[in-house]
Structure 1
Amino acid sequence: MPKSRTPVQVGEFTALPVVIPSKALGKDVEHYIYLKAYEPKIPDELSPRALLLVNIPVTATEAQIRQLLTTQLGGGHVQTVHFASQDAASSSSTTSALIATTPSGPSQKDVASTLGKRKRPAQESSSDIANRLSTKTVPSTTPTQLHVSGSTAIAVFLDRASRELTLRACAKLSRAVASGKSKSLVWSAGLEATKQPPLGLARYQAQRSLTFPPRADLLRLVDQYMTTYGQLEEARNRESAKKRAEPDEDGFITVTRGTRGVVKTDEADAIKKKVEEKKKKEQGLEDFYRFQTRQRRKEEAGQLVRRFEDDRRRVKEMGNSRRSGRPE
């Protein structure tokens, strides 16, 4: 019976044969990773040097993919690796939303500012502190992230030449394995034990230790959270005090929680002065024309007549009610 040939090309993808050692089965498992140049619908500055990997192992990590493509395959240097199953933004078509970029160092402007005169740091707003507080969460209890079978990943190289070098090396190895001139690559071969994810019983032991962290670590996390929460309360009180000290456009003072009805004398005088100045400016435009003055006086006289008629009617009703209640 003739030996089945190893697939070399599947559509636009190049098949990369790898062997995954399995202690549970007692033998090696043959696996195929399919690679091609990443070409999104909306290309950007990162897509020309990105490589799409399909059907990665469920326990794949960034260190393992770096070691496979760069060290064993002899391809270009991998800058970063992004797993689509770990990001909710994987449905986006742009590479920038899919790739976790490497954090950059401080710029020359930041370094120059630190060498000059020390300045008082600007106070953070309550919204900024609230965003920082949302990041103070309990660490994950999962030691390694397991991917869904058939998951994809995107490897970003330093330049386009590195990506093309990796694709050519992958095609060359695939043809050599298909013709029997070479062997498949071994998954995680030569990788340090510290960079390999724990599997089997070791993974469950690591998960149990993460589920019950040491008491000192929990106290440290709680202290950090409460410190940030205290800063948030101080920022909110500072913003509330600022609102109490400044009247709005209508001359009203915002009543906020925590005032307790206590206002300093100098602050009250300053607020009263601002309100009076605003009223003076508005009064200068009320009686600009003579007919406005006549109309205002006519309205005031009409109000006085109406009040007099109301008072006379009220007195008459009171007299009628007294006479009706007197016995004959």
Structure 2
Amino acid sequence: MPSSHPSSVGDFAIVSLTVPPSKVFPSQAKHYLYIRPNAPKPPTPTSPRELFVVNTPVDTTPSQIRALFSQYLGGFRIDRVQFSSSTAPAALTTPSGGKKRKRRGGGDTALEGAAAWPTTSERELHPSGDSCVVSFVDEASAAGAMKAVLRAARTRTEIPLAPTVHDAALGQARYVRLHELQYPDPVVLQDSVDAFMATFNSAEAERARAAAKARQMPDEDGFITVTRGGRNNPARAEEVQARLEKQKERQNGRDDFYRFQLREKRKDEAKELQRGFEEQRRRVQEMRGKRKYRPE
């Protein structure tokens, strides 16, 4: 019997899922997915053949998403499924007009990907309300899958979600296994630390070289960038002078470009006239003093 939930919200089509019973939850549960065409800003070359899926279950796997589309939502071929909580980069969409969210942890992606820490869980879990991008083989497949999604949302069809296949232990054995994973082998942990520190030191050395280069090279205006750590090997005076000469050449013919330059130019002309008048008056006074002045 179709449920009475809405078929859409905003740009998203709502698809109802039925989660089968499991050992930890013996009753059938309902879950809702929100799906729409992927629309990242700015667009990517692959976005026309992608769908954006929101509110995936915490233990969803790529194989479950593939089975959902292949069996119930058109049966079109999927190229890749990328969750937003995964470490690999993905072009995810954000609702138009929404606020941007800061990344959790705020770490360096390059450093995080260079040396992964030992896992502390038997399987990958996603945050509640996580999202994923489903990439199809072509644009026609993505359009056909979106039509099937809209049809399922309009008819409010309840689609069974494939059960999660994993070998995770339950009960006391699960907590024993989690305890073991939280205290990895010291050799494995040391290898991860060494790999992370090697990548970190390499990145720091590259930043130091870039900062030293910035301290040595003047900018286009002839100034030296002031950076943290003092000045080592300052730029040569010839380089600074060459930059200043180049700046003067660019400014030639631009003396009356700005309004304040016109004002300064008029002030200089007035001062020059006043200086000439004072000079003439001084000469007249000198000639009168010598009694050689005969007015005409």
Q: TM-score normalised to the size of structure 2?
A: 0.48
Structure with higher Rg: it is 1
Q: Whose helix proportion is higher, 1 or 2? A: 1
Q: TM-score normalised to the size of structure 1?
A: 0.44
